[in-house]
């Protein structure tokens, strides 16, 4: 299977989401680079990788388009670990990670 978006920017984004070293406010706040750890769209929720991929209303329409494709791979709602390629089944992990990369490609 060929990778849909073989770009360094997407690889870097996925790696940063996995490690938590992102440009999201929660991480930048820990580094003293922003005043608030919260999402600009959801001022009561920390701006974390999980929030970005699973909860933020800013990306709701893209997520709605993304979730049906995931349901074919995951019978239950996937977790952040699943979305970032952390499944024990390598085929499932690869497919899920490609869908996540597609989602990121459309949101960044």
Residue 52 lies in a domain: yes
Whether the CB-CB separation of 49 and 75 falls below 8 Å is answered with no
Closest CA to 58 of 73, 43, 68: 43
- Do the domain assignments include residue 84? yes
Q: Is the pLDDT of residue 30 over 90?
A: yes
Asked if residue 25 belongs to a domain, the reply is yes
Confidence of residue 47 (pLDDT cuts 50, 70, 90): very high
Report residue 6's pLDDT band, with 50, 70 and 90 as the boundaries: low
What is the number of domains present in the chain?
1
If pLDDT is split at 50, 70 and 90, which confidence band does 1 have? very low
Asked if residue 69 has pLDDT above 90, the reply is no
What is the extent of the structural domain holding 79?
Answer: 8-107
Q: How far apart are the C-alpha atoms of 70 and 64, rounded to whole Å?
A: 10
Can you give the pLDDT at residue 22?
Answer: 94
Instruction: Share the mean pLDDT of the chain.
Output: 88
What is d(CA 106, CA 93) in angstroms, rounded to the nearest whole number? 20
- Asked if residue 3 belongs to a domain, the reply is no
The separation between CA 89 and the C-alpha centre of its own chain, rounded to angstroms, equals 19
Residue 2 counted as domain residue: no
């Amino acid at each position: 299977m060929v990778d849909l978006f073989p770009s360094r920017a997407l690889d870097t984004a996925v790696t940063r989401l996995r490690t938590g070293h992102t440009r999201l406010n929660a991480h930048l706040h820990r580094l003293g680079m922003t005043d608030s750890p919260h999402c600009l769209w959801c001022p009561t929720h920390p701006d974390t990788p999980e929030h970005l991929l699973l909860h933020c209303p800013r990306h709701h329409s893209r997520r709605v388009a993304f979730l049906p494709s995931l349901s074919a791979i995951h019978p239950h709602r996937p977790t952040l670990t699943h979305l970032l390629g952390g499944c024990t089944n390598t085929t499932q992990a690869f497919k899920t990670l490609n869908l996540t990369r597609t989602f990121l490609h459309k949101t960044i």
